[in-house]
Amino acid sequence: MRPSGRAPDEMRVIDIQTGFTKHAEGSCLVSFGDTRVLVTATVEERVPPWLRGKGQGWVTAEYSMLPRATHTRGQREAAKGKQSGRTQEIQRLIGRSLRAVTNMEKLGERQIVLDCDVIQADGGTRTAAISGAWVALRLAVNKLMADGKIAVDPIESKVGAISCGIYQGTPVLDLDYIEDSGADADANFVLLEGGKIAEVQATAEGATYDEEGLLRLLRLARIGCDRIFAAQDEAVK
Amino acid sequence: MRPSGRAPDEMRVIDIQTGFTKHAEGSCLVSFGDTRVLVTATVEERVPPWLRGKGQGWVTAEYSMLPRATHTRGQREAAKGKQSGRTQEIQRLIGRSLRAVTNMEKLGERQIVLDCDVIQADGGTRTAAISGAWVALRLAVNKLMADGKIAVDPIESKVGAISCGIYQGTPVLDLDYIEDSGADADANFVLLEGGKIAEVQATAEGATYDEEGLLRLLRLARIGCDRIFAAQDEAVK
Amino acid sequence: MRPSGRAPDEMRVIDIQTGFTKHAEGSCLVSFGDTRVLVTATVEERVPPWLRGKGQGWVTAEYSMLPRATHTRGQREAAKGKQSGRTQEIQRLIGRSLRAVTNMEKLGERQIVLDCDVIQADGGTRTAAISGAWVALRLAVNKLMADGKIAVDPIESKVGAISCGIYQGTPVLDLDYIEDSGADADANFVLLEGGKIAEVQATAEGATYDEEGLLRLLRLARIGCDRIFAAQDEAVK
Amino acid sequence: MRPSGRAPDEMRVIDIQTGFTKHAEGSCLVSFGDTRVLVTATVEERVPPWLRGKGQGWVTAEYSMLPRATHTRGQREAAKGKQSGRTQEIQRLIGRSLRAVTNMEKLGERQIVLDCDVIQADGGTRTAAISGAWVALRLAVNKLMADGKIAVDPIESKVGAISCGIYQGTPVLDLDYIEDSGADADANFVLLEGGKIAEVQATAEGATYDEEGLLRLLRLARIGCDRIFAAQDEAVK
Amino acid sequence: MRPSGRAPDEMRVIDIQTGFTKHAEGSCLVSFGDTRVLVTATVEERVPPWLRGKGQGWVTAEYSMLPRATHTRGQREAAKGKQSGRTQEIQRLIGRSLRAVTNMEKLGERQIVLDCDVIQADGGTRTAAISGAWVALRLAVNKLMADGKIAVDPIESKVGAISCGIYQGTPVLDLDYIEDSGADADANFVLLEGGKIAEVQATAEGATYDEEGLLRLLRLARIGCDRIFAAQDEAVK
Amino acid sequence: MRPSGRAPDEMRVIDIQTGFTKHAEGSCLVSFGDTRVLVTATVEERVPPWLRGKGQGWVTAEYSMLPRATHTRGQREAAKGKQSGRTQEIQRLIGRSLRAVTNMEKLGERQIVLDCDVIQADGGTRTAAISGAWVALRLAVNKLMADGKIAVDPIESKVGAISCGIYQGTPVLDLDYIEDSGADADANFVLLEGGKIAEVQATAEGATYDEEGLLRLLRLARIGCDRIFAAQDEAVK
């Protein structure tokens, strides 16, 4: 039995509130249960130095946790003077995931920065961030197309992400904080429409799993991402 | 005429949504028009090193602007590796303002950290932060009292803050971003109930003002803070 | 009775020794009693990036305290690897104060950097720094004019600064360290010739004050700044 | 055809030279073809603060690339003043991988630090580092047991790691630099004896892959890790 | 002919003004011609962690150049966020030089920090700093002895330092900035009473020198240090 | 008697293994007994900003100690976020030493970076680094000449470095770690062919020495450097 009473393949309630801030070209507040992440997409009419003059764009991401998004307060990274390894690992993952569905030639020589700030954390902040970042990116690109700055849609698929894990011997979908802390193994899947895999990060803490276990988690992730794709569709409609 | 059409002594709509995050001992999302700041109060059962064993508590604050809270994206301070002078100046002001209404002996040997994160900026973020921080502090102290950890209420007054300025020759209350950018002079006032002054920071950019001008801004600030005190009362009721 | 035996409206002895270092375009060692600050003005024939090509100049300031300027040794900021919030707050104030009296178009596309290094601290280091910085700026601008690089004097007024406070119930002028540590409230005023206000920073530590109290401090500050203006005149004669 | 002429399931030559440095409790220079990593294991008779007094040990890792390990010189991280996101991601992975095979109670209240310094890079530095780190750890633990400091062997399995990828449509084992740069997708697998999975990090750059593709890579990784386990056995014999 | 008109073995005028700041336990403003360094000695009743409980003291130094001590303004190290290699090299040299004449057991378990801040630079700042630091140390130790905290004098010799170099083929003593910039080779000597050598740092820029050349510089340094010892005696009398 | 049983003027075994890494334009692993340093020379077709367009090149060096090169593990400088004063002092010395034998006009507008990474430390790491750096530089320049990029050899002499010291009253050559820790005085000499002096850094820890002592060390250094020059010749043959 899961602490939340959910069935093993049951997601938390997904909520995506678009237009959460007025300045950003795209934005949403995405919730997976009590996990809430504010994502903004900023369009910049320039690219990183190593891409200049190559006729293609770039999509990148930054991630941060507000100090009291968690049970106990964490020190502010700006005050510490550096981003943790965890933060950097996550923002690199978010960036790669969104680049996996963006055609950089069609985007043109501009950069879209996705800022993912965790307002409240209850497990799965990186996967909620990726799922919400797609919505913010979609809205920003819609705006670029409406403004006539992009002719052909550079977004080639939806992308969603979800965590799965083995909790007390049972593979479960969409771990919350309690499950995450006690899971024998957990994996984050970044999937595209049609179930194609963009990224898998599977870690066995203490335990290990076999090929069959990995596949069962992957299948759960497919169920979850179908739900996420539906919520994304609904949000940007 | 003000760009927003407001009268010179008219505040923007104040909205204070308490309990915005579930982990913090006190929290609110405070809005002054389009300026929105998330404030959380964290109670820590320890004090800074220099206060240990002295039988008194401490109240401190941290402030940050989300990268896309503003018209154009600002670089993330955690990525730059340091907090700007502006950030430090503001968080020192917030801390002093809240300490001005807290009796540290009654608080006992514990620290309350007020994290003020600007979700959206449209002028007056520091004053909104102070005004909201009082609400988060009040809620956190209420919880300490309900839990029997504090016997006598250490909060001695409400505290509110508001900016005033001289915009196109006219003293106006509660400047928004457009007014703030074009003001001849602006001042932030931190006031207590009964109109007592905790802090004044008045700056004349380009122009200067005289004693009479300063007094007219102070009187506007009194009007504004009375509105803030009412909104605070409503929020914590 | 003040610890120093001074009358409430009595300043400490002001001494401004110009030409204290030979390399700087302008320099002075300014003393307010035992508070001594070395100020140098450096003329740079370039402006910050955001001002390039706009036909105007810039005046900025940096502030630092030598490690043993104080009763006990403070850690060197260069060794700590960052400037404190206090340092940044003060150097921003000094820069704003000097910009308030400088016409940037007349200065032309060049920058003047005012370095204020506190040799010995006994209260009022930031106000002494502002008062001395005007002298260093004046000397550097005189040199630019003598060299034919500037045609019309860009300095539009003298500017001085002084701290006032309420010490044991009495408003007093020019607080020394002992008074500063024990004051109920203190305020720094940056004033121009004719008594116009460039900046007010008033803080009530523990106590608060009312409109009348603030005005009494402002009037003391006027007395003090008149003395400062006379000393500045004497120094640059 | 692979650029190196290897068969799809053919590893590069593995060489593990133990005792490469005389001070460390365990050390080796591990080579996978032209990729060479120096690993040292340091035993410290203390644990991180959050583990003190819990009767268990810790295993952690640090990773670095010498500036000219690569085709063009990279800036030294010590000179830049911070470790890159990539470095932190890799050293976190190495630490988790070795912890997956270490019983922390049996290790006792001490820490083993695995320093992995890349002398020469030709693809697969992180997987070579993990594979070599096991050898250094094994040697250090052997020494602790020989010295009578540990009674029961805390190492529960060998652990190896290898990268696989899809190169020009074909799944291949143990990518070198040329393959790595041109691969459609690549994955790093950390496996235990018996083929159990400790960690999977699979990324599709540009392309994506399906469940079948992921499985084919996993099966290649099993072949590779069996070779690694044999080399580890040989090295510590 | 030297640019200053001095004879090859002629020092610049040495001036040592003691008691330059009132807070430090010892202080002086030392001038070698136009080179001026403010040195303060701070007594701290604690030692660095690695010396605790060993019954001996420590002497250490910090060095900094005010931004406009030089012909053109240098960036402030506190603003850059780190001390340069040059700064660290110099402060390590100053510390070693003073430790060479201090008996750490007699000093007792306390630390003396020598802060050397260059007010104006005209060549030879590090040697002026060492020579002045001895005076500040002497005064601080005198105070400790007068206060009855130290029974037996821990200072075993005077120590002085001077630069010599080969300028246009001629060995010269006490290089000023112009000579220093154009010298073929220069060396800093730290000498004790009786001509004993504590430290030699000789560098040939472009040229090189032979044994005889090195000895000629050493003999000049002896002449210079005798002058310095006399000035130190005069200063602390 | 020396702990190693060597005669006072006896060097440790020198071994220089060239071509240790395949990417660098020049490289070697240099050993002086158990001290081993990996040196790579990187040719960059650009110069530092302050040399651009002047028709001359630059030679610079970086130095680092692997964390477990020493008896006990040292913290990684990249993790600490800054290079120590010792590291900076050493890399400045290495750079100066190699520049002393390089004609910058003949090198042409390019930079050669010498990375010296200490694999194992047993005294004399900086002098081994300089001696090995000459070999790596020689190989890189040979390659530039073979590629027709440089017409006239810019290397004007060999350069070697060795430490000498007074150990238990006897001047000895090439100190190992045990001798270095217990020496009364030690000196590093950087010499050119023909015995010319490029640099002397002599420090008396605790003791001091006189002119005669310094000369005796210099003569030992000559013996050592002749051995080093022979080993360099052998290595690059």
**What's D182's domain CATH number?**
3.30.230.70
Q: What are phi and psi of D42, to 5 degrees?
A: -115, 125
| pLDDT given for residue B206 in this prediction | 66
Identify whether the C-beta of residue E198 lies closer than 8 Å to the C-beta of residue E159: yes
Bridge partners for F36 per DSSP: F31, F120
E189, E121, E203: which is closest to E160 by C-alpha? E189
Cα of B83 to nearest chain A Cα, Å: 6
Q: For residue A63, which of A19, A148, A127 has the smallest C-alpha distance?
A: A127
Kindly give, in sequence order, each residue whose CB lies less than 8 Å from that of residue F17, ignoring residues fewer than 6 positions away. F28, F29, F30, F31
Do B27 and A68 count as a contact with CB atoms less than 8 A apart? yes
Q: Which residues of E touch C121 (CB under 8 A)?
A: 23
- Percentage of chain C beyond pLDDT 90 is 89
Alpha-carbon distance E202 to E163, whole Å? 9
CA distances from A64 to D14, F45, F165 (A): 41, 39, 54
User: What residues of chain F lie within 8 A of the CB of D139, using their CB?
Assistant: none
Question: Does the CB of D113 have a partner CB in chain F at under 8 Å?
Answer: yes
The yes-or-no verdict on residue F124 having pLDDT over 80 is: yes
> Which of A25, A36, A76 best tests the B interface by mutation, with the highest count of B CBs <10 A?
A76
pLDDT at B208: 75
Among candidate residues F127, F136, F124, F113, the one with its CA nearest the CA of residue F38: F136
Q: Please check whether residue B38 is in contact with residue B18, taking contact to mean a CB–CB distance below 8 angstroms.
A: no
Main-chain dihedrals φ then ψ at residue F234, nearest 5 degrees: -60, -40
Looking at residue B204, its pLDDT comes to 80
- Which chains have at least 3 CB atom pairs separated by less than 8 Å from chain B? A, C
pLDDT at D207 over 80: no
Collect all residues with Cβ–Cβ distance below 8 Å to F220 and sequence separation of at least 6.
F8, F9, F164, F171, F172, F173
Question: What is the structure's pLDDT at E184?
Answer: 84
Answer whether F210 sits within 8 Å of E204, measured CB to CB: no
C67, C83, C113: residue with CB nearest E115: C67
Q: Cα–chain-centroid distance for residue E67?
A: 20
CB contact under 8 A, E66 and C24: no
Which of E72, E77, E88, E106 is best to mutate for the F interface (most F CBs within 10 A)?
E88
Is residue F92 pLDDT above 70, yes or no? yes
CB pairs under 8 A between B and C: 95
Residues B196, C209: C-beta atoms closer than 8 Å: yes
Q: Give the HSE-up count for residue B20: Cα atoms under 13 Å, Cβ half-sphere.
A: 28
Asked if E120 is an interface residue toward chain C (Cβ–Cβ < 8 A), one would say yes
Residue from the list C21, C64, C83 with its beta carbon closest to the beta carbon of E68: C21
* B90 in contact with chain C, both atoms CB, cutoff 8 A: no
pLDDT of amino acid D151 = 95
Considering the domain boundaries, does residue A75 fall inside one?
yes
Do the domain assignments include residue D151?
A: yes
Return the residue of C nearest to B209 by Cα: C197
Query: Do E40 and C67 count as a contact with CB atoms less than 8 A apart?
Result: yes
pLDDT at A206: 66
pLDDT tens, residue by residue, C21-78: 999 999 999 999 999 999 999 999 999 999 999 999 999 999 999 999 999 999 999 9
Q: Which two tokens stand for residue A8?
A: 């093993």
Count of CB pairs separated by less than 8 Å, A with D: 95
Q: Which of C66, C80, C118 to mutate to test the interface with E (most CBs of E within 10 A)?
A: C66
The sheet with strand A35-44 has its strands ordered as A14-18, A26-32, A35-44, A111-120, A58-65
Report the residue of chain F nearest E83, measured CA to CA.
F85
* Tally of domains in chain F: 1
Helices (H) and strands (E) in chain E, counts: 6, 9
DSSP annotation of F55 reads S
Q: Which residues of chain B are under the pLDDT cut of 50?
A: none
pLDDT in tens, C171-221: 999 999 999 998 888 899 999 998 899 999 999 866 777 888 899 999 999
Q: Is F80 on the interface with E (CB under 8 A)?
A: no
Sheet architecture: strand order including D14-18: D14-18, D26-32, D35-44, D111-120, D58-65
CA distances from F149 to A22, F45, F146 (A): 58, 11, 8
Question: Mutate which of C20, C23, C31, C110 to disrupt the E interface (most E C-beta within 10 Å)?
Answer: C23
Quickly tell me which residue has 């590069």 as its tokens.
Answer: D12
Q: How many C-beta atoms surround the C-beta of residue A234 within 10 A?
A: 11
Whole-Å CA distances, D58 to B180, C202, D212, E18, E83: 54, 53, 37, 55, 35
Quickly count: other Cβ atoms within 10 Å of residue A215's Cβ.
16
**C91 contact residues in E (CB cutoff 8 A):** none
**Does the beta carbon of E42 lie under 8 angstroms from any beta carbon of chain C?**
yes
Give me the residues of chain E with pLDDT under 50, please.
none
Q: Which of B23, B40, B68 sits opposite A115 (nearest CB)?
A: B68
CB B201 within 8 A of CB B233: no
C40 found inside a domain: yes
Q: Are D189 and D126 in contact, with CB atoms under 8 Å apart?
A: no
D195, two tokens? 């083929």
Domain limits at E63?
14-236
Residues of D with CB below 8 A from A200's CB? Answer: 187, 200-202, 214
Asked if the Cβ–Cβ distance from E100 to F206 is below 8 Å, we say yes
Would you tell me which residues 187-206 of chain B have a C-beta closer than 8 angstroms to some C-beta of chain C?
187, 192, 195-206
Angle between the N-to-C axes of helices D211-236 and A211-236, in degrees from 0 to 180, rounded to the nearest 10: 140
d(CA A40, CA A143): 14
The answer to whether residue C81 neighbours chain B at the CB level (below 8 Å) is no
- Please report where in the chains the tokens 């992440």 appear, as a residue: A37
A-B contacts at Cβ under 8 angstroms: 90
Residue D184 pLDDT grade (very low, low, confident, very high; cuts 50, 70, 90): confident
**Residues of chain D contacting residue A85, judged by C-beta atoms under 8 Å apart:** 83, 85, 88-89, 91-92
- Read off the pLDDT of residues F141-167 as tens digits, 9 standing for 90 and up: 999 999 999 999 999 999 999 999 999
Give F42 to chain E, closest Cα distance, Å.
22
Place of tokens 């040399």: F51
Q: Tokens for F155? A: 């290397």
Closest partner CB to A88 (pick from D88, D100, D200): D88
Strands E185-192 and E159-167, sheet pairing:
antiparallel
Structure letter (DSSP) for residue D14: E
Residue F26's alpha-carbon distances to C180, D153, F36, F109, F141, in angstroms, are 64, 45, 17, 19, 8
CB atoms within 10 A of CB E142: 16
pTM of the model: 0.91
E23 at C interface, C-beta within 8 A? yes
Residues sharing a CB contact under 8 Å with residue C48, sequence separation 6 or more, in sequence order = C58, C60, C111
> How many helices and strands in chain D, by DSSP H and E?
6, 9
Interface touch D197/A218, C-beta < 8 Å: no
H or E segment to which residue C79 belongs: helix C77-80
Say whether F22 and D40 touch across the interface (CB within 8 A).
no
Interchain contact, F77 vs D78, CB within 8 Å: yes
Strand ranges, E, within chain C: 14-18, 26-32, 35-44, 58-65, 111-120, 159-167, 170-173, 185-192, 197-204
* Residue D195's pLDDT band (cuts 50, 70, 90): confident
The four Cα atoms A164, A165, A171, A177 give a dihedral, to 10 degrees, of -90
What's the CA gap between A101 and A115, in Å, rounded? 18
Q: Of the candidates D218, D228, D159, which has an alpha carbon nearest to the alpha carbon of residue D187?
A: D218
- Are B152 and B10 a contacting pair, CB within 8 Å? no
Average model confidence (pLDDT) for chain C?
95
Average pLDDT over residues D43-63: 96
From residue E224, how far is each of A48, E12, E221, E227 by CA, in Å?
57, 10, 5, 5
For residue C112, the one-letter residue type is I
Q: What is residue F193's DSSP assignment?
A: G
- Strand D170-173 with D111-120, pairing: unpaired
ipTM of this predicted structure? 0.94
pLDDT of residue A185: 86
Q: Are D79 and F84 in contact (CB under 8 A)?
A: no
Cα-Cα-Cα-Cα torsion B1, B5, B10, B13, nearest 10 degrees, comes to -160
Which residues does residue E113 pair with via DSSP β-bridges, in sequence order? E42, E60
- Residues from chain E that touch F202, judged by Cβ atoms under 8 A, are 197, 199-201
Quote the minimal CA–CA distance from B82 to chain A in Å. 5
- Residue D206: CB atoms within 10 Å: 10
**B17 at the A interface (CB within 8 A)?**
no
Residues of E in contact with F206 (CB under 8 A): 100
Residue type, C231: A
**Nearest CB to A38; choose among B70, B83, B119:** B119
Residue D8 located in a structural domain: no
Structure tokens at B59: 């109240």
Contact F68, D115 (CB under 8 A): yes
Nearest Cα of chain B lies from the Cα of A120 at a distance, in angstroms, of 6
What is the spatial distance between Cα B94 and Cα B201, in angstroms, rounded to a whole number? 12
Q: Is the dihedral of CA B81, B86, B89, B94 positive or negative?
A: negative
- The structure tokens listed for E44 are 């701290």
Query: Which chain E residues are within 8 Å of C46, Cβ to Cβ?
Result: none
Beta strands B26-32 and B35-44, pairing class: antiparallel
Taking 70 as the pLDDT cut, the residues of chain A under it are 205-206
**Residue B3 phi/psi, 5° resolution?**
-55, -35
Inform me whether the C-beta atom of residue B88 falls under 8 Å from chain C C-beta atoms: yes
d(CA D2, CA D180): 11
What pLDDT does F206 receive? 66
Residue in A23, A25, A63 to test binding to B, most B beta-carbons within 10 Å: A23
Q: Which residues in chain C touch residue E68, judged by CB atoms under 8 angstroms apart?
A: 21, 23-24, 27, 40, 42, 115
Written as one string, the DSSP assignment of D107-174 is: H-S-EEEEEEEEEE-SS-HHHHHHHHHHHHHHHHHHHHHHTTS-SS--B-S-EEEEEEEEETTEEEES
**Closest approach of E211 to chain C, Cα-based (Å):** 38
**Cβ of B71 and A117 within 8 Å?**
no
